[in-house]
């Protein structure tokens, strides 16, 4: 074999080993993150590294936990570098249906127990949904208190007003929060703390501004503190 060809082969082998080492280092990092998550939440874990559209490793990770499909999923983050969050509040009408509070035109049948649901979706995971309907005005007050606890201590949890569903916020590293609900199943995802708090405050204030028009109710003290 000519000397030049031998040099080219050796160079290619060296580059392959370097790329393999980098890939192994990246996977080792993900395994460490998974072990840390397992210590926080003792759920069976499966590493599932995903690549973004340009086929490069993503720099951010999103923790997704469900009891029916328990795994840590390393998902690509959105273009601005923060996971996405969606929140909507629904009122339960006399027929048992749900109407978005912003579109509702009826007064709650019982202003002391306003039945409804919060739909909280983070990174495509429905942490809360309409199947978890309860006294929605009280639930928003509980969540408002949770925001105080999260900002003060880095952890907060509550149970729903009238059923054994637990909602928890736990601050992880770099102001990332694990949001988790435990009811018939376990659902969770992570999100930037500032984005979570900002979205929750806005949704709570918007709901009580709307409900004050529908039911002539004042704003409870936990909600007033969010302003």
The full DSSP string for 73-130 is EEPPPPTTSS--EEEEEEEE-TTS-EEETTT--S--S-TTS-EEEEEEEETTEEEE-G
pLDDT in tens, 143-202: 999 999 999 999 999 999 999 999 999 999 888 999 999 999 999 999 999 999 999 999
| Per-residue pLDDT band at 32 (split at 50, 70, 90) | low
> Is the confidence at residue 75, as pLDDT, over 50?
no
pLDDT of amino acid 8? 52
Residue 127 burial (C-beta neighbours within 10 Å; 0-12, 13-18, 19+): buried
pTM over 0.75: no
pLDDT of amino acid 174? 80
Backbone angles phi, psi at 129, to 5 degrees: -150, -175
More confident residue, 171 or 62: 171
Give the span between the Cα atoms of 72 and 33, in whole angstroms: 9
> Is the confidence at residue 60, as pLDDT, over 80?
no
Q: What is the pLDDT of the chain when averaged over all its residues? A: 76
Lowest mean pLDDT across 12-21, 112-121, 128-137:
12-21
Alpha helices for the chain (secondary structure H): 3-40, 136-153, 193-215, 221-224
């Amino acid at each position: 074999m000519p000397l030049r060809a031998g040099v080219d082969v050796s160079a290619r082998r060296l580059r392959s080993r370097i790329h393999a080492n980098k890939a192994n280092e990246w996977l080792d990092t993900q395994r460490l993150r998974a072990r840390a998550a397992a210590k926080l939440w003792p759920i069976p874990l499966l590493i599932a590294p995903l690549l973004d559209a340009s086929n490069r490793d993503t720099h951010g990770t999103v923790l997704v936990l469900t009891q029916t499909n328990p795994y840590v999923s390393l998902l690509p983050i959105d273009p601005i570098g923060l996971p996405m969050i969606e929140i909507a509040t629904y009122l339960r009408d006399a027929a048992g249906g749900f109407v978005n509070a912003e579109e509702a035109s009826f007064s709650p049948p019982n202003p002391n127990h306003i039945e409804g649901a919060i739909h909280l979706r983070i990174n495509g995971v429905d942490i809360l949904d309409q199947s978890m309907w309860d006294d929605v005005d009280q639930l928003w007050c509980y969540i408002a208190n949770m925001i105080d606890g999260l900002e003060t201590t880095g952890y907060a949890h509550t149970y729903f007003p009238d059923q054994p569903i637990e909602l928890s916020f736990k601050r992880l590293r770099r102001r990332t929060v694990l949001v988790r609900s435990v009811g018939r199943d376990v659902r969770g995802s992570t999100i930037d703390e500032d984005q979570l708090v900002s979205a929750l405050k806005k949704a709570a204030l918007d709901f009580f501004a709307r409900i004050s028009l529908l039911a002539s109710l004042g704003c409870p003290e936990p909600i007033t503190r969010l302003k």
